[in-house]
Each structure stands twice: as structure tokens, then as C-alpha cells.
Chains A and B, each alone.
Chain A
Amino acid sequence: MSKLGFFERMLLPHYGDTGQITWAEIRVDREKCTGCSLCVRACPADSIMVEDQKARMKPREGNLLGNPGISQCMGCGDCVALCPSGAITLTAPYRWTRFFRTIDRGDPAPPRI
């Protein structure tokens, strides 16, 4: 079992520093994507946008409230499951530092039998 250090426990996150979060990442296969924008409407974190008839993830760096804003993907996988053409894959997990540091986790995996 992992433990949190004393200083980690003292360091609560705040809204200004987005560096304390590693957002999850999706990859969109541009060949398969039809630009139907179902994923854009379903995304709870407003992390996907349609550009040139193809879905893409919002940038990971930049101003949170800027245009188009930054991705706040939590890796819920809703878009992956929803995409009718199977164009979306989850490529990176969602991780925290400081007080909320993600502990005792392995790599993401689909259901295993």
C-alpha cells in the first residue's frame, strides 16, 4: 500500500495551477472519423471539438477559459464506447499530484476475463 508524504497531504490543489493534473488523452483516427459530433455532445468535460469535419481533442496546454480552452479529459471512456465508427481510443490515463496524488494504480486495461 502506498503512502502519502506529510507535505503532499498539506498541498491542496487550487484552480489556477493545471500542472498538478495530468489529463487523460484520447486519439481520434482521422480516417475513420465521420465528424458526426456525437462525442462532442456527450463529453462531460467539454474536451472534444470538431475541426475540418473531424473530431479532435482540445489542446492539453494553454488557457483553461481561453478559446478553444484546454482539455479536461477524465478518461471516462464515454466517447470511446459511443463512437459509431470506433475511431476513438483512450491513450493516456488521468493522474493527480499533491493532496489528491493517484496512488495504487496500474496501467488502464479493458475488462479481463
Chain B
Amino acid sequence: MKAKTDTERLAQQYTATEEVILRRRSVRLYQKKQVPEFMVKRILEAGRFAPSAGNAQPWKFVVLRDPELIQGITETVVRLLKVFRAVLDYRRPGFFWLRPLTELFIRLNRYELHPVPFGAVDLIARGKLGLWHGAPTVVLIFKDVRGVGSPDLDCGIAGQNMVLAAHSMGLGTCWVSFAKTAFKYSLTWKRKFGISYPYKFISSLAIGWPQGSPDGMVPRDTHAVDWYDDGRRTTLY
């Protein structure tokens, strides 16, 4: 009988894990206060215990807690994004002739040059959007390209484990993939961190104490789910 009451209770309230998942929002306003070392280490443990294809664990984490390093990478990224913007943005007055060239680039690289990330390129280059939003701790995630199947996905799973662990401790996080430019189009930081084959930059996490209380449940798009049951198909939203 006990099992049934447990299920009944479950139907009325979320579990602690679900609460963390549903309430988690990307945090883009951090306090200056540093995150205690033991908490970051525990977050890394959550990443270490993530599932991966063939148990290959194809990831490498780099923790940055020196403000100079974080600032240095940010400056490199801003400089590179300014160059991209100058080369690709034909919307500025007098630059209409750039348009065919930009459209060719978009066709060759349609996802990375999607208008939305390009909008963010513009905001970061103009200093209206910070890279890591002033977070005191940054975790860089690199993949080992020799991982089984899709190491990108494994790094994503490990990263999400870390993000959820951090939010369960009351910390805020934000996925930041724009830092990729500093490792893809510049040698400075690859040399500085000793990054070479087989490691490749995947994404990074900003971790810190949020300003205000940004976690909470908000409306989200619903997605059509095809549900096959009893030999029929229904579509759920």
C-alpha cells in the first residue's frame, strides 16, 4: 500500500530534482563574491559522473578563477567579434556592397551565422553583452575528439550535470559557447593552456552567485509530441 501513496504524492508535487530542472534559468548577473572552492569541486564531481557513450568520458574541464585570465579571454573574444562584425555586417550605412559576400558566408555556415547568434556578436562587440557576465568562476569544457560516437553530446551531458548540481546549491550558471572564437580563431589561449590534439573547445560555463533571485518557473514553448499507444497515434502538446 505504501508504494501507492508514494505515487499519489508524486502526482501532486515535483521531486527536488525536477524543481531544480524546471526552475533553472540562465543567470547573466553575478555578484563579485567568489564561489567557495569545495562547491566548484563538487560541481566537477557531478560532471565526472555523467553518462557517456562506451564510458569513454571524452571531456576535459579547465577551471578559471583568475580575473585576469577571464578578462584576457573576454578581450580576445570581443576583438575577434569586432572583426567578424566589420567583415559581415552590411546593414551599416555605406556597406551595402558587402551583402552578396555575407550571404555567401551564411549559405556556407548557416547555423553559426544564423541571425540570432549574429545579433549576439553585435551586442558583444558593442559591449552591450558581457561574455561571462562577470562570473567569478568559469569552467571551460573541451572534448577529446577520439570519444565514442558523439563526444560533443557527452560533453553536453556532463555540462548539464554540473549546471544542475550548481543550481541545486543556489549558484547561478550560464552556458557560454562564444568563447569558442578565442580557441578556434586565435592561438594565444590554446598555447597558454596547452590545448592541442585531441582536445577541442566545446562550450563553457559561467558559475557564480546570482544577483537577485533569477531562478523560477516561466512559460515555455510547448512541442508537439507524437504518442503511440493502443495502436493509435495522438499528438500531445
Contact = CB atoms under 8 A, between A and B. Distances in A.
Chains A and B form a bound pair = yes
Interface of A: 1-2, 12-16, 21, 38, 41-46, 64-65, 72, 74-78, 80-82, 84, 90, 93-94, 99-100, 104-111, 113
Contacts of A111: 14, 22, 217, 220
A38 B212 contact: yes
A110 B218 CA distance: 5
A100 B117 CA distance: 13
B223 A105 contact: yes
A2 to B, nearest CB: 8
B99 interface: yes
Chain A interface main SS type: loop
**Which of B92, B213, B221, B223 has most A Cβ within 10 Å?**
B221
B80 interface: no
9 contacts: A38-B212, A44-B28, A46-B129, A76-B26, A78-B28, A82-B212, A99-B110, A108-B220, A111-B14
Interface string B87-109: 01111100000010011001100
A41 B22 CA distance: 23
Given A81-B218, A99-B110, A104 B224 contact: yes
Contacts of B212: 38, 82, 84
Contacts of B92: 65
Nearest to A93: B221
Nearest to A76: B26
B226 interface: yes
Contacts of A100: 114
A76 B128 CA distance: 17
A41 B29 contact: yes
Interface string B105-148: 01100100011101110110000110000000000000000000
B222 interface: yes
Given A41-B29, A46-B128, A15 B217 contact: no
Contacts of B25: 76-78, 81-82
Task: Output the residue of B91, B107, B219 with the most chain A CB within 10 A.
Answer: B219
Contacts of A110: 217-220
A106 B214 contact: no
B5 interface: no
The 8 A-B pairs of least Cβ separation, nearest first, read: A77-B218, A106-B237, A81-B216, A106-B222, A104-B224, A108-B219, A82-B214, A111-B22
